[in-house]
Structure formats: structure tokens, C-alpha cells
Structure 1
């Protein structure tokens, strides 16, 4: 019994003309990416807060919005510390995550279920930011950019704390409230059928 091996063809991607040539270039390019992401997030968070109903969630989002403004300023200091002008490059990942969050808001009823959806979308964003800041800190350490490293680690800690606060809000009330809302709706539907 002969097995046929499928011949896999792979093509190498052709880099852009301005592609990163070394780790420092990749570091700077990644900084531009997260700088755009944080600015976009600073516009998206108020919309999420406005659509939330849980006081705990609203407080968590509003607190993170304030932190996000500080993180933008901190990124500007990172650029300065490495002798670069702060500039943004569209972050496709963050753009997609924000759009997903907007869709969740549109596709859910006002209340605990929407709040649970907002938390889910927010945590995806936090996890992206945690991964990005962790990578940037690693690059800064390797490049011996000590001031940048310190600033990036400060933001990384804030992102981890924000993720924890969202988890806490979800587990301690919102997810249970959403489940309760669903059960109440099911009971009402059963009563209507009788």
C-alpha cells in the first residue's frame, strides 16, 4: 500500500521596500503599531463604557481609559528614549479586535449579556496588548534600551491588572447575571407557551 505524499509548495513573502532589516527596526515598527493601537483604543473605550450597564464594568472601562491615555504618553517617552519621533502605523490586529467588540454590542441586548460580551471583547484586546508589550520589553532588553524597558514593563503590568479586573468583574457578577437573565427569559417563554 503506497501512500502518496502531497507536494507542498510554499512561497516566500516578498518584503516591502521599508521592511525591518534588523531587531531595532522591528522594535521601532512594533512601537508604531502599538502606538496606533492605543490611540484607537482611547476612542473605542468610551463607546464600550456607554453601552455597558454594570457599574463595576463601567468603572473598570473608564479606569482603563485613563490608563490608556497615560500609556500613550509613556509610548511617546519610549520613542524619545530611543531617539525616534513618535509615529503611528495602523495596527490591523487592534482594528479587527475593536470591530469585533462593536459587532458584539450590536448583536446583544442591553444588559448583563451585552456586558459579558463587552468583557469578552475587552479581554481579547488586553491579551493582545499583554503579548505585544511583553514582546516589546523583550526587544528593549535585548537592545539594551533600559529606559524603554522600564516604561514598557510599567505598561505591561497595567495591562495585566486590567485583564485581572475584567476577569474579576465577569466572575463575580456579570456572567452570573447574564445566565440569570437567560434563565428568566426561558421561564417567560415556557409560561407563554402554556
Structure 2
């Protein structure tokens, strides 16, 4: 699809975020299974539900604009997933708490990609006068920020301290 204007860019980026979300879910599940912390594991499971909810919004927005949400492959998220696997799952950890700290680190990198994407498309929707789209994207952005803040609380609330021992 040739990008001729902001609307085309908006639609392209909706598809990119959809792909990013789809790619992130399996690695988040794997990190949840690998986590020693029950709180962290539950937070990762909950984040996947939020990601799934966001994908539904993205798919609906794409469909509303006559675009298939599945035609894009996000290379950025592909790289982040590779890094998450390497640094949180395949690295050799002598301490499970250190692995949990690594899992949080990698999760937050995935989340920050989504935060940037949602923020951009929400801003595009505002500029294009797509107020309904912008409101839905703001909700997705808010939920993603909420998940990121929750991970920070888990890290600061005990995981990082436990990993220093």
C-alpha cells in the first residue's frame, strides 16, 4: 500500500500495531510460565488479555476503514520478541529472582513499543477528525500504560530487591 497521506499512514500503523500485539502474546505467555513470582506471572497473563482486547479494537478500526488488519508484519516487534527470548528465557540464570527482573525488563520493552504506536495513531486520528477512533485508541494507550506501571510496581515492590541477594 502506497502511503499518500496521513490517513494512509494511520491505517498502515494500525496494521503494524496489530501485528506487534499478535507477535508479543506468545512470548509474554512464555515469560509468564518462566516467572518464579506468582504476582508477576498473573500480571503477564492479565497483560495478554489487555493485548487481546487492544487487538479487537485495532481490528474493528481497520475493518471500519475497509482495511484488513492482518496484512502487515511488524519487524520492530519481531526484533523485540527475539531479544526477550534471548535475555529473559534462554540466558543462563543462577538466580530465579534475577530472571524475574529480566522478564520485567523485556516485558516493558515490548509494552513501550505498543505505547509509542498507540500514541502515534491516536494523534493521527485526532488530526484526521476521527474522534471515535481517537477515544478508543486512548483507552488502549491508557491500559498499556497501566500494565507498564504495574510491572514497575512489581519490580520495585520486591523482584529487584530479591534479585540483589
Match of 1:165 among 143, 150, 153: 150
**1:68 to 2:51 alignment:** yes
Identify which of 123, 134, 152 aligns with 2:119: 134
| Relative contact order, higher structure (CA 8 A, sep 6+) | 2
* Residue of structure 2 in register with 1:41 after alignment: 24
Q: 2:14 aligns with which of 31, 41, 54?
A: 31
**Other-structure match for 1:56:** 39
| TM superposition score normalised by structure 1 | 0.80
State the SS of the aligned residue for 1:118: helix
1:43 Cα deviation after fit: 1.9
CA–CA separation in structure 1 for the residues paired with 2:116 and 2:92: 28
* TM-score using structure 2 length: 0.94
Q: Which runs of 5+ in 1 are unaligned?
A: 1-17, 181-194
Q: Which residue of 2 aligns with 1:102?
A: 85
Q: Runs of 5+ in structure 2 lacking a partner?
A: none
Q: Provide Cα deviations, 1:150-185, integer angstroms capped at 9, x if missing partner.
A: 1111100001001100000000100001001xxxxx
Task: Report if the CA contact (8 A) 1:81-1:148 is conserved.
Answer: no
**Separation (CA, whole Å) in 1 of partners of 2:55 and 2:92:** 31
Deviates more, 1:72-81 or 1:95-104: 72-81
> Which residue is equivalent to 2:98?
113
Q: How many residues align?
A: 163
More displaced 10-residue stretch of structure 1: 39-48 or 129-138: 39-48
Alpha-carbon RMSD across the aligned residues, in angstroms, is: 1.2
More helix per residue: 1 or 2?
2
- Indicate the residue corresponding to 1:82 in structure 2: 65
